[in-house]
């Protein structure tokens, strides 16, 4: 078969003969007065292919090119060449135009971003399930030690508040401990070890026991759902990925413990907040506590939002949307509740005990 050959050294076209060795998957190129070239299909790239023309290239330095203007040769080559399909796809992509190239680039970038921002954090978040519950306690203890000092704790009001917790939820109060901390910040949070911290300013803003019970049920639900543990893992996803892949639980624990001090700064997502609200409501139902207290509290906090830069709202975003779904949930899952004068008494007592 007649062909035009470029030897890669000079740009001059050279007349050549080509033959396809089907069985051996090789191409034979013969030029007058030169040693014949035998080349495997797998070493050949299709640089151009259209009806009646095929351009093949092979080798690097020199890169040699063979051009065959014959449709039966082209179709035969494409048919018998098992490595050719890859070449065609590559060729098609190469000649697909800038729009396709931009699209491909965007897809690749999108994939990398997606992996980094969604997939890896998702894996890291799931890593929590391989951590034993006892580890939550360890992390919480460390975070508590690093964030709260002995002098900040109002020990008298703290005692009263733990009595409150015992009366409020007699079945599970033992897993939690409440701390009243003297602070001008409107905040409350719970650590994975069950330590609940409530700032004195927050306690002063709370008017009824139902509001306080609503807040506590919400905070406790963050602990039972392991939210801060999940969030911590997510924020450390880059480091954690390797440990998870290697199933290195000890490495995982070390990284988390090293970062326990960050726990307080982590801001819960809306999903976590909603989860904590809904499980909080279940806890209120169990102890026959009026769920309206939770709504009242969030409304108070929301009003404060316009005046202050509140700590609680930065880590537990309260939106009107949130108040709406809590109301809706209560409406769809009504339950009976009773007044708890003994809780109100303890709340009043704690408030009078607070030194500042
Ligand atoms: Zn929350």
Q: Which ranges constitute the DSSP H helices of the chain?
A: 71-80, 84-94, 98-114, 120-126, 133-147, 155-168, 200-205, 209-224, 227-235, 237-245, 249-258, 270-286, 292-305, 311-315, 320-332, 341-353
Work out the pLDDT band at 206, boundaries 50, 70, 90: very high
Average pLDDT over residues 75-97: 68
| Cβ burial 93-110 (10 Å sphere, 16+ → b, else e) | eeeeeeeeeeeeeeeeee
In tens, the pLDDT along 2-54 reads 999 998 888 889 999 999 988 888 899 999 988 899 998 888 888 888 889 99
Q: Which residues pair with 195 in a beta bridge?
A: 177
In tens, the pLDDT along 278-321 reads 999 999 999 999 999 999 998 888 777 655 555 666 666 666 78
CA of 218 to the centre of ligand 1 (A): 6
Termini Cα distance of the chain: 99
Gyration radius of the chain's alpha carbons:
35
Q: Positive or negative CA dihedral for 98, 101, 102, 103?
A: positive
CA of 217 to the centre of ligand 1 (A): 10
Domain boundaries, the chain: 2-94, 123-353
DSSP assignments along 107-121, one per residue: HHHHHHHHIIIIIHH
**What is 2-94's CATH number, 3.40.50, 1.25.40, 2.30.29, 2.60.120?**
2.30.29
Rounded Cα–Cα distance for residues 185 and 171 (Å): 31
The pTM (predicted TM-score) of the whole model is 0.65
To the nearest whole percent, how much of the chain has pLDDT over 90? 44
Confidence (pLDDT) at 126: 75
* Across 128-132, 143-147, 149-153, least confident range: 128-132
CA of 268 to the centre of ligand 1 (A): 7
Average pLDDT over residues 155-179: 95
- 132 backbone φψ class: left, alpha, beta (φ>0; ψ -120 to 50): beta
Confidence (pLDDT) at 42: 85
Structure tokens at 299: 């409304």
CA–CA–CA angle 254, 257, 263 (5° rounding): 145
Rounded Cα–Cα distance for residues 112 and 125 (Å): 19
CA of 195 to the centre of ligand 1 (A): 14
CA of 95 to the centre of ligand 1 (A): 54
CA of 266 to the centre of ligand 1 (A): 11
Confidence (pLDDT) at 214: 96
Confidence (pLDDT) at 102: 82
Rounded Cα–Cα distance for residues 304 and 199 (Å): 15
Rounded Cα–Cα distance for residues 99 and 325 (Å): 45
């Amino acid at each position: 078969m007649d062909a035009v050959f470029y030897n890669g050294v000079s740009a001059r076209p050279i007349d050549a003969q080509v033959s396809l060795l089907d069985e051996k998957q090789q191409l034979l190129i013969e030029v007058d007065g030169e040693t014949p070239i035998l080349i495997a299909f797998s070493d050949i790239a299709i640089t151009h292919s259209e009806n009646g023309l095929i351009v093949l290239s092979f080798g690097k330095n020199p890169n040699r090119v063979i051009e065959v203007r014959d449709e039966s040769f082209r179709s035969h080559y494409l048919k018998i060449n098992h490595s050719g399909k890859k070449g065609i796809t590559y060729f098609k992509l190469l000649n697909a135009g800038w729009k396709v190239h931009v699209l491909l680039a965007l897809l690749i970038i999108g994939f990398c971003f997606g992996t980094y921002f969604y997939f890896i954090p998702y894996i890291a978040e799931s890593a929590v399930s391989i951590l034993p519950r006892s580890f939550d306690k360890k992390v919480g203890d460390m975070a508590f030690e690093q964030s709260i000092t002995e002098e900040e704790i109002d020990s008298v009001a703290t005692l009263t508040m733990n009595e409150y917790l015992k009366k409020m939820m007699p079945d599970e109060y033992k897993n939690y401990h409440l701390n009243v901390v003297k602070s001008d910040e409107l905040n409350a949070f719970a650590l994975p070890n069950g330590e609940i911290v409530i700032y004195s300013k927050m306690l002063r803003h709370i008017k009824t026991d139902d509001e306080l019970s609503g807040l506590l049920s919400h905070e406790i639900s963050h602990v039972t759902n392991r939210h801060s543990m999940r969030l911590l893992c997510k924020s450390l996803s880059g480091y954690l990925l390797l440990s998870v892949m290697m199933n290195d639980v000890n490495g995982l624990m070390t990284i988390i413990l090293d970062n326990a001090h960050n726990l307080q700064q982590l801001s819960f997502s809306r999903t976590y907040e909603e989860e904590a609200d809904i499980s909080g409501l279940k806890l209120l139902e169990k102890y026959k506590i009026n769920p309206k207290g939770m709504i009242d509290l969030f409304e108070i906090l929301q009003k404060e939002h316009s005046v202050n830069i509140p700590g609680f709202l930065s880590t537990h975003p309260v939106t009107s949307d949130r108040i709406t779904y809590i109301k809706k949930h209560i409406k769809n899952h009504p339950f009976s509740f009773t007044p708890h004068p003994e809780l109100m008494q303890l709340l009043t007592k704690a408030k009078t005990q607070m030194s500042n």
